[in-house]
Amino acid sequence: MIYSNSLIYIELHESEIPWLKIFTHTPHKEFSECSASEKEMIWSCLDIIEKEMLEYFKPDKINIASFGNMLPRVHWHIMARFNDDSYFPEPMWGVKQREGRVKMAPMEPFLEELQEKLVLNFD
């Protein structure tokens, strides 16, 4: 777990690309069931994570998605995408296009900086 407070928690998804997920602690099925505080926290975290990924990894695109078909509870995916990742331009759930050749910066410094920003903003 990367970050947690009373409303949400953030996890790293193991992947060839930087990929984080935000979950609500309360297992809502739909976003409309979330409280105003939960919604605000999700949007704020999405904004911070996207900006940090853009600055640190310099991806070609950021993907943000919320499906919940396989896991029917509110959660959001934030992915830094690269033209030479294995699936681009398809979604990471799509058909693999090639063997990826992503050469990205190490994850640990990014995660440490992100944790610091989240704590400063929300704790």
Q: pLDDT by residue (tens digit) across 50-67?
A: 999 999 999 999 999 998
Q: pLDDT by residue (tens digit) across 8-36?
A: 999 999 999 999 999 999 999 999 999 99
Q: pLDDT by residue (tens digit) across 76-98?
A: 999 999 999 999 999 998 899 99
The contacts of residue 9 (CB under 8 Å, 6+ apart) are 1, 3, 22, 23, 25
Please tell me the pTM assigned to this model.
Answer: 0.94
Q: Where do the domains of the chain lie, and which CATH numbers do they carry?
A: 3-122 (3.30.428.10)
Helices (H), the chain: 36-57, 107-122
Strand partners, 64: 78
d(Cα 123, Cα 121) in Å, to the nearest integer? 6
- Given its phi and psi angles, is residue 58 left (phi above 0), alpha (psi -120 to 50 degrees) or beta? left
Q: Output the pLDDT for position 49.
A: 98
